[in-house]
Structures are given as C-alpha cells and as structure tokens.
Amino acid sequence: MLGYILRRIAMMIPTLIIISMISFIIIQLPPGDYLTSYAMQLRQMGENVDETEIASLRERYGLGQPVYVQYYKWVSGIILRGDWGQSMEWQKPVKDLIWERMALTVFLSLVSVMVSWFIAIPVGVFSATHQYSIPDYLFSAISFVGAGTPGFMIALVVMWIAMRKFGMNVGGLFSEEYILAPWSWAKFVDMLKHLWIPVIVIALESTAGSIRTTRANVLDELNKPYVETARAKGLKERKLIWKYPVRVAMNPFFSTVGWTLAGLISGQTLVAVVLSLQTNGPMMLRALTSQDMYLAGSFLFLLSTLTVIGTLISDILLAWIDPRIRLEG
C-alpha cells in the first residue's frame, strides 16, 4: 500500500504541472485582457481613459509579454514566495481574496455533503430492501424530481416560499449588521440561522442522485452468492445488510471524493449567486468573466489540484473498503 501511494504521489507532480499550464492558457484564450475590458467599460460610461495609466498597469502585470513569460512569473511566485499574484479588479493579493471566503465555503459544502449522505444512504438502503413498495415508489418519485430540477431553480422556489409565507430575508449567510463585523459568537449564531436554506438547496440536488445510486448498488449486491451464504449461516438480516451489501454499495461515494473536494471551492456557483452567498463560487465566476487572470487562474489551479488529491484519496479508500480491489496490475 505504501509503495502504491508513493507512486501515485509521484504521478501527481507532472499532472499538476500540466494542469497549471492548461489553467493559465485557458485564461489567455479570450481576446483582450482585463485592462482592455476595463478601458472599454470606462469609454461606454463616457469617462476618459488615461492611456498612460493603462500602459503602466499593462507593464506592471506583464500583459505585454509573451504568455510563457507571464506563466513563469506566476508559477515562480507561487513556488518561491507563496505569491499567487495580484487581483486586478479587487486590487488585493489573490491568496487573501481566496482565503477570506474559504472557511465559509468549506463549512457550507461539508455540512451539505454530510446532510446529503445522512439522508441518501438510509433512504437508498430502505428502498432497495423494500423494492416495489409504496415508500419505494414515493422515494423514487421524489429523487427523480430532485435530480431533474436545477439547483438554482430550487433556490428560487425556496426563497419565494421563505419570503412569501414566513416573511424571512433569505439572501446571504449573515444579517446586514454582521456582514462586515469581526467574527464573534453572535455572528456565528446569526450564520447558523441563515445556513439552513443553502444547505437544503445544495444537499437536495445531490441527495436525489445519491438515493438512486445507493438503491441500485444495494439491489445489485442483495442477490449475490455471498449474501445468500450469510443468510444460510443464520446471520441476522439487519446486520447482514449493513455489514456486507451496503459496504460494497458505498464505493460510488468514496469514488466521488475528488469531485467533492473541488466542490468545496466552486461551492455550487449558480446557487451561491442566486442566494447571494459570500463563498468562493461567485468570486470565481466574476474573475472568469472579467478576465482577472491571476485570480481566475488560481481558482482553476486550486480546483484541479483538489480534484487530483481527491482522486488519490478515493483510490486509497476504495482499496481499503473493498477487498476485491487489487492494487497490482
């Protein structure tokens, strides 16, 4: 196992290098750059554009140099100084902008994932062990509706119900007086009061698909010979179900850890925009649309890095939980 992990880590290094190159090239693909877009916006608003200032900023950010020179400056800054570059739009270091919202993004995503798993696994197992029963049909219908409805649509419906029926202001994660306030116990409690709506919206979409996946996988395992052998030996049905078929059916959950880690950054971007959440998702979308190359490139690189790390964790968990998986060959 140790040799396998070391080989995978060694493979991650060239993978991350290639990913960083692709991420930076993607940001450079659209015509123009941030300063060109910024100057165009000023002209559309009828304001004068100081060409000397634009040229100075272009020189400062190295926009007049070849792409490979800009890439080298960016990567060398990250490796040697921990400098992810300067956001042109926000005029702040990229790492400060990302980490300001990282705690909220991670907390919201982890809570949503845990809620989704705690609901999906028991419901999926129950549907599989009570196949074609009325509850099975009911859960299947709910999961199909949840899987087929976009997350931002669910967010709009929940917002309308909360505001129309309960008179609640559901935008954002904090009340107005706590948005810029330093962290305190009162601010944390206020966040918990606003947290339930984004958690429900984000968890509902993933829960629906997880129920279907769990049900299908458990059904595949229930009729296999090892289950019949366990029943023949007198093992209690509840213990048999949870110890063997359910354990194997958990493989898809562990295999999607890579996507889950990346989701901690993206944080359901469209849902976050609709609900006005102070997470990394809306900031990443804004950086991409405004061609803020250092901020957007850093987000893409972080997403890709977390996906690679998550894939490694998934492989290790799968090898640990499923004895049929072999590391050789």
> According to DSSP H, which parts of 223-279 are helical?
225-232, 237-243, 245-249, 251-255, 257-266, 269-275
| 147, 152, 155, 156: CA torsion to nearest 10 | -120
Backbone phi, psi, residue 33, to 5°: -155, -175
Interatomic CA distance for residues 110 and 260, integer angstroms: 9
Residue with tokens 């049929």: 324
Residue 229 and residue 221 in contact, taking contact as beta carbons nearer than 8 Å? no
Interatomic CA distance for residues 215 and 122, integer angstroms: 10
- Give 182's DSSP letter: P
Name every residue whose Cβ is closer than 8 Å to that of residue 200 and which is 6 or more positions away in sequence: 158
β-bridge partners, 249: none
Domains and CATH numbers, the chain: 94-321 (1.10.3720.10)
The pLDDT of residue 329: 44
Interatomic CA distance for residues 195 and 210, integer angstroms: 22
Interatomic CA distance for residues 20 and 237, integer angstroms: 51
Note the Cα 82 to chain centre separation in Å.
Answer: 23
- Residues in the chain with pLDDT < 70? 1-2, 4, 30-34, 38, 41-42, 45-47, 49-50, 53, 57, 60-62, 64, 168-170, 257-267, 321-329
Residue 303 and residue 98 in contact, taking contact as beta carbons nearer than 8 Å? no
Helix (H, G, I), strand (E, B) or coil at 86: strand
